[in-house]
Amino acid sequence: MALSLPINIEEVKGFLAEDEAQALYDYALSVAERGPLLEVGSYCGKSTIYLGMACQQKNSQVFAVDHHIGSEEHQLGEMFHDPDLYNATDGIFDTFAEFRRNIRRCNLQDVVVPLVAPSEVCAKFWTTPLSMVFIDGGHSLDAALNDFRCWSGHVMRGGLLAIHDLFPAPEKGGQAPIGIYRLALQSGLFESVARVNSLGILRRL
């Protein structure tokens, strides 16, 4: 059943397809009772809203990890740069104000916990088991590997690891996300559950 949202989701900047968003919500809903969720790479909050709505249903929380200064492709002069999100005064790409506005519009302030720092800083002293981790941060190989190494080990047994932007063919998209997806499978700690468009869902064994 399609999720009814309190806002027009098309107004929220982001790169999540409709079928991917619905799958993210459905799988988050299936595990949120077991513990909190965490996403890496919130941008303006589109995926956070779907995860947050699932957590709201199950009295859980989602930790949203993002330094909010954009990945390589969001910087001035790059392919995915959005001038509306560029803070010319400080000379930085800055998505945090837009993120907070979208979370507030969906009444998810008590559900979503923003962690505004690089992935490795947030993970340094992390000890809480997570029912689901969604990785959609920087798409360079170094960034994707870093996010995977920081957070995959915190997924509880039976919990889920979701990875966005899986493109088997290099001409369709960057190879770092599918690289860490394959790494997860090769580790023997995860099994494939579903592929929805470019979203991969794995379960921790």
Q: What does the pLDDT look like over 67-104, one tens digit per residue?
A: 988 766 676 666 667 676 777 677 677 899 999 999 99
The one catalytic residue among 68, 74, 139, 164: 139
Active site residue 139: yes
What pLDDT does 89 receive?
75
Residue spans of the domains in the chain: they are 15-204
Region 146-158: what's the mean pLDDT?
98
> Model pTM?
0.93
Domain 15-204 in CATH 3.40.50.150? The answer is yes
Q: What is the DSSP string of the chain?
A: -PPP-SS-GGGS-----HHHHHHHHHHHHHHGGGS-EEEE--TTSHHHHHHHHHHHHTT--EEEE--SS--GGGSTTSTT--GGGEETTTTEE--HHHHHHHHHHTT-TTTEEEE-S-HHHHHTT----EEEEEE-S--SHHHHHHHHHHHGGGEEEEEEEEE----SSTTTS-SHHHHHHHHHHHTTSEEEEEEETTEEEEEE-
